[in-house]
A and B are shown apart, each in its own frame.
Chain A
């Protein structure tokens, strides 16, 4: 009788440990979300606007194809650092 009680406690403990451990491990290492596009992938073409002070101008990625490299720098919001 006593033995069965001990095994029951042990079973509950193991079950709890099995559920909690992966969560604890995940918290310790906040892995950055993986990138959808990887080095070597073709960058998707786009058409976006900017305002040059007088007019709205269109920019496409394809207009630079074969002519120059492009740095595409995504930033979070205007008027923030970086």
Chain B
């Protein structure tokens, strides 16, 4: 999440809203956001309905996989980063900036 925060200005400049999602409660997420200095919303998928809908629920951990989706203005998925690859969001930041230049 910190990595997205570091790139937030670039992403916002490229018309991109960042949303974190986990299966924690809204209040745990707020405390987490404050602790690590995240200013974008951390959404609470308590119960995991959306996590399952997106196919990233891991039964073994009773939690989500680490996955980033970049969704375009048309609602279609433009990019996915999965597990280890999801830690560094550079690919998504670059994609957003490239789209902006091509507009």
Interface residues of A (CB under 8 A from B): 32-33, 35-46, 48-53, 56-57, 59, 61-62, 64-79, 82
Contacts and interface: CB of A to CB of B under 8 A. Distances in A.
A71 B92 contact: yes
A45 B50 CA distance: 9
Contacts, number: 177
Contact of A71 (B4, B24, B51): B4
B39 to A, nearest CB: 10
A53 to B, nearest CB: 7
Nearest to B12: A68
Given A69-B15, A71-B70, A78-B42, A36 B80 contact: no
Nearest to B22: A75
Contacts of B53: 44, 46
A73 B1 CA distance: 8
Nearest to B26: A51
B21 A72 contact: yes
B31 interface: yes
Contacts of A41: 76-77
A6 B53 CA distance: 56
